[in-house]
Amino acid sequence: MDYTGKYSGLAIADYLIEKAQQENKKITNLGVLKMIFFAQGFGFPELQMALIRDDFYAWALGPVEPKTYEVFKQYGSSNILAPSGKTISELEDIKSRPERVQFLDKISELTDVNPFVLMAKTHEAGSPWEITGLYNKINPELICQYYTYNYGHYKRS
């Protein structure tokens, strides 16, 4: 299957979980949920695309992609022990695209940041989470506009 456009949030989470395991880093459900949201947001200015096809919702602890949450909620606040195993073809596609690997490897550096710090970043004034009503779907255009406007001039290297 060709994933030229978008991946599931779960595939991006699985990539980040695999990367964390390779580097002997811990990653929690809260952390990976924030990281996939940042992958979606920063994907607009850096990759000029929506990386994730699934919707995000404004939950109390920040933006959440519910399908990914459901898969990893069993871990609670503990370290996720393994990727889902449900996204093998998507992971192969991601790994075959050097620009996506490079981008996601930068996002994976967020495993070094406390998930509650990441959560606070998603709650900033004017953020897509902040202007969306609690438990409502976050309009993908809001994510695109916010990250393109606030970070479009800044290319992380």
| Domain assignment present for 2 | no
Give the predicted TM-score (pTM) of the model: 0.93
| Domain assignment present for 97 | yes
| Domain assignment present for 21 | yes
| Domain assignment present for 1 | no
What the block records as the tokens of 16 is: 């980040």
| Domain assignment present for 32 | yes
Degrees, nearest 5: CA angle 139-123-55:
30
| Domain assignment present for 3 | no
Domain count, the chain: 1
Amino acid 50: pLDDT: 92
Residues 82-130: tens digit of each pLDDT = 999 999 999 999 999 999 999 999 999 999 999 999 999 999 999 999 9
58: containing domain: 9-151
Q: Is the pLDDT of residue 154 over 60?
A: no
| Domain assignment present for 84 | yes
Q: Which residues contact 86 (CB under 8 A, 6 or more apart)?
A: 10, 14, 71
| Domain assignment present for 41 | yes
Q: How many helices (H) and strands (E) does the chain have?
A: 8, 2
